[in-house]
């Protein structure tokens, strides 16, 4: 049966027709999203896991422990998932942590962490360091704590705070080697799973969420050590939520610069130190990733 064409607002079409081939975008929104998981190397290696699961699989080239799996449903309905042998995570969602280039022993801040896909990815790399995982929503913090426990991440402190307030916490000033700001956004990139974001998208909402994103990226930057690296990421498409947020930071701080994105993936350059990922690049969701440095 032919997939149903997704509904979208007139404003959404007008705006995005200026960014890319809109017809191609809508065609991709009707294609099933490939199932993907990230093997939890803290508990098991990929060879042993797939021997247990018996699933066909293909390595995701940009993610150390990421795999596409040949299963139509039920990726989260196994004993191996319940005991934390793997995390169900979309393939492009693994890119921001890989772009951070975390070194074992780093002090890392994940500012908008829940439900924990990227925090647990950081934890599997940074066994000898410390992670601060923050979220402002009580319900989401509970999910974050649950996933950290399931995946065996023991070196993580969970906080419930408004991320933009971190800049005012004296003990966090220039404290972190790595900072991830995976910001709340209009979520256009998730439309291959749920097309509602296309229907409800409005320029006014984008403008409001962009104002929050600018506060979050500045807060994260002030927590970053000199010589450190911050990644700002979203799963959406608007310039206001992506390039404009990064530009706002660079204009505001003289010691802010951009780093080189070095991922084994196809993407579109979005200016110095930034990348846009569209579904047709790697058969994933949409993503935006920007790498920021502090002098």
Please provide residue 248's backbone torsions phi and psi, each rounded to the nearest 5 degrees. -60, -45
Distance CA 105, CA 230 (A): 16
SS3 content of the chain, % helix, strand, coil (to 5): 40, 20, 40
Distance CA 274, CA 292 (A): 9
Q: Which two tokens stand for residue 62?
A: 């940009």
Distance CA 44, CA 58 (A): 17
Give the Å distances, CA to CA, from 233 to 48, 82, 198, 229.
32, 28, 19, 13
Q: Which two tokens stand for residue 107?
A: 């002090």
Please, what is the angle between helix 243-252 and helix 203-223, to 10°?
Answer: 40
Catalytic residues: 235
Give the Å distances, CA to CA, from 32 to 2, 14, 190, 240, 283.
11, 25, 12, 28, 10
Radius of gyration, alpha carbons of the chain: 19
**Nearest Cα residue to 210 out of 241, 183, 237, 246:** 241
Residue keyed to tokens 């797939």: 50
Q: How far apart are the first and last CA of the chain?
A: 55
């Amino acid at each position: 049966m032919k997939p149903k064409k997704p509904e979208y607002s007139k404003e959404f079409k007008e705006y995005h027709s200026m960014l890319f081939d809109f017809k191609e975008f809508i065609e991709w929104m009707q294609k099933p999203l490939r199932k993907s998981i990230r093997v939890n190397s803290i508990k098991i290696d990929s060879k042993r896991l797939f021997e247990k699961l018996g699933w066909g699989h293909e390595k995701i080239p940009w993610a150390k422990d990421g795999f596409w799996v040949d299963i139509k449903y039920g990726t989260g309905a196994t004993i191996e998932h319940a005991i934390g042998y793997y995390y169900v995570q979309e393939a492009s969602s693994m890119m921001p942590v890989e772009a951070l280039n975390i070194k074992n022993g780093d002090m890392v801040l994940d500012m908008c962490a829940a439900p924990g896909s990227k925090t647990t990815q950081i934890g599997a790399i940074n066994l000898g360091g410390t992670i601060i995982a923050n979220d402002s929503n009580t319900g989401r913090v509970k999910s974050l704590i649950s996933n950290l426990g399931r995946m065996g991440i023991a070196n993580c402190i969970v906080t419930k705070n408004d991320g933009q307030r971190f800049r005012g916490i004296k003990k966090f000033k220039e404290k972190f080697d790595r900072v991830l700001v995976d910001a709340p956004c209009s979520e256009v990139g998730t439309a291959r799973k749920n097309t509602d974001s296309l229907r409800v998208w409005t320029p006014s909402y984008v403008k409001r969420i962009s104002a929050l994103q600018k506060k979050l990226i500045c807060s994260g930057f002030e927590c970053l050590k000199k010589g450190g690296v911050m990644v700002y990421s979203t799963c959406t498409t608007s310039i206001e939520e992506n390039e404009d947020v990064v530009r706002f930071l660079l204009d505001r701080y003289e010691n802010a610069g951009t780093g080189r994105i070095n991922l084994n993936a196809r993407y579109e350059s979005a200016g110095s130190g930034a990348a846009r990922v569209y579904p047709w690049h790697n058969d994933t969701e949409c993503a935006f990733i920007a790498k920021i440095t502090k002098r």
